[in-house]
Amino acid sequence: MKTFLGHNKPLLVSMVQGTNPARVKELMKNSVDLGAEAFGMQFCRMLPEYRTEEVYRDLFSAYNLPTYVTNYRYLRNDGKADDELGSELVELARCGATLCDVMGDYYDAQPAEYTENAVAAQKQKALIAELHNAGAEVLMSTHTHKYITAEEALKIAFIHRSRGADISKIVINAGNMEQQIESIRIIDLLKRELDVPFLFLCAGECRIQRRIGGALGNCMSLCVSEYDEVATTCQPLISEQLAIRNNL
């Protein structure tokens, strides 16, 4: 069974970003050869002509590995309403996506990417229930675009859990050593207090946490097989992350 839940070690997830399915498949093959255990596909990056059920089913069935999908507002989704983005996530789930990423501020866009609006919260719960009914697991994500404390991070994680998410994902910015040390405390707090799996990451200058986070409590590591023009460069190479996980 393809799943992101219940593993006894953090999954090595290769982010196979591409504007077309041929490039995504090339990255998938390279990733498997390097030891990837799951895929991450950001369909918000794919050209509109390839956003079809046929393409989705073909990609999801190419390997017997679980697939994590995003459908964020930015990149090629600019101008789409959140209702449309949510419907597209449901389509991805019905086509075989294993884990669907619901933005923490769907239906009420906020600078820190999470909402406490009651109406938006009910719509998020309904979307997550629909994704579950379609056979998918659900990750709720918040990219704060700023530094936050451990207590603030835990509050956001509890919000994710309360909406029905199976996994909580939080990404903050960390720009100095003090904040980087605090980010390790955040993982410890989430591990002790949160009763669902989580993925906590740092953007900005401090990225050591992306490499050791799996050993501290993260349920997965987001990696890349290579650095091309669309890869997220703060994500470590699969080869590096595999060595860190196996030897740390």
- C-alpha 48, offset from chain centre: 21
Q: Please say whether the beta carbons of 42 and 25 come within 8 A.
A: no
Q: What is the mean pLDDT of the chain?
A: 95
Per the listing, tokens 């909402």 go with 115
Residue-wise pLDDT tens digits, 204-246? 777 788 889 999 999 999 999 999 988 988 899 999 999 998 8
Find the length of the chain.
248
25 backbone dihedrals φ, ψ, rounded to 5°: -65, -40
Statement: residue 141 has pLDDT above 90: yes
pTM above 0.85, yes or no: yes
End-to-end CA distance of the chain: 28
68 backbone dihedrals φ, ψ, rounded to 5°: -100, 130
The rounded distance, in Å, linking the Cα atoms of 198 and 174 is 18
Residue-wise pLDDT tens digits, 159-215? 999 999 999 999 999 988 889 888 889 999 999 999 999 999 998 777 788 889 999
Give the whole-number percent of the chain exceeding pLDDT 90. Answer: 84
Confidence (pLDDT) at 207 = 75
Structure tokens at 201: 């990451």
3-state secondary structure the chain: CCCCCCCCCCEEEEECCCCCHHHHHHHHHHHHHHCCCEEEEEHHHCCHHHCCHHHHHHHHCCCCCCEEEECCCCHHHCCCCHHHHHHHHHHHHHCCCCEEEEECCCCCCCCCCCCCCHHHHHHHHHHHHHHHHCCCEEEEEEECCCCCCHHHHHHHHHHHHHCCCCEEEEEEECCCHHHHHHHHHHHHHHHHHCCCCEEEEEECCCCHHHHHHHHHCCCEEEEECCCCCCCCCCCCEHHHHHHHHHHC
The region that residue 164 occupies, defined by phi over 0 for left and psi between -120 and 50 for alpha, beta otherwise, is left
